[in-house]
Amino acid sequence: MKKTKKTFQPEFLEDWPAKYYEFDDAGLREQCLREYLKANPDSPEDLRRLEIFEQRYGKGPRHQDGYYYAWSMLKALSQSTTFLNRSRREKDLRQHMIELAVLSSKCDDLQMQEWKNFADGFIRDSLQGHSYGSSLLGLGHVSAHDKAQRIANDIQTVTVDMPHEICLEKEAAPLCRLLEDALIRMAEDGKEIVTAVRRASSR
């Protein structure tokens, strides 16, 4: 059944910002934030929320999720054979880390909240969707355990191994933890899977 798209209601601003992350619709989130800022134009926390929102979604009306885009580009880069052009690879890595807000001038509580929103949505969509569930050549489907392990491997690659190439392991560590925590919460045997991937990567 197709979900009915929610429209802005003044009650969404009650107990602000309690409902800010309740909406999957980025446009509705932005509208709530801007309506609150109309009444509270000097709120430093909400000006920061707007800065983070625009860094993730841009300033246009289409609201492409820049975090999802950066993740997909980093995953593609991890599978490419660009090691022969080291400087180009490092440039691309740095650019996508900026898009993912890993290479940012500030990693505060509000940035952590935005990352958590991304992590929860990404893990939920990955576990429920088909991108991690297809077997070789697209024939058949993998088990829920194998799907979760594929996701855990990608978390390790994108938020540990690739940042290590440009000395950003420390900056990427908070996002890594949020993604791992989301997988542990949402996937059966998630804790064991995450632990096994960490152990294998440290060998």
Q: Where are the domains of the chain?
A: 1-64, 65-201
End-to-end CA distance of the chain: 47
Long-range contacts: 5-9, Cβ < 8 Å, 24+?
A: 8/32, 8/35
Share of the chain above pLDDT 70, in %: 93
Query: Do 53 and 29 touch, CB atoms closer than 8 A?
Result: yes
Per-residue pLDDT tens digits for 30-83: 999 999 999 999 999 999 999 999 999 998 777 899 999 999 999 999 988 655
Confidence (pLDDT) at 129? 87
Backbone angles phi, psi at 40, to 5 degrees: -135, 65
Rounded Cα–Cα distance for residues 139 and 136 (Å): 6
Please give the Cα distance from 179 to 77 (Å, whole number). Answer: 20
% of the chain at pLDDT higher than 90: 73
Q: Which residues contact 76 (CB under 8 A, 6 or more apart)?
A: none
Burial 95-127 (b: 16+ CB within 10 A, else e): ebbebbbbbeeebeebbebbbbbbbbbbbeebb
The reported pTM is 0.91
* Interval 138-175: pLDDT, tens: 566 788 999 999 999 999 999 999 999 999 999 999 99
Q: What is the mean pLDDT of residues 175-196?
A: 97
User: Which residues face 134 on adjacent strands?
Assistant: 141
Give the pLDDT confidence score for residue 1 in this predicted structure. Answer: 46
pLDDT greater at residue 103 or residue 105: 103
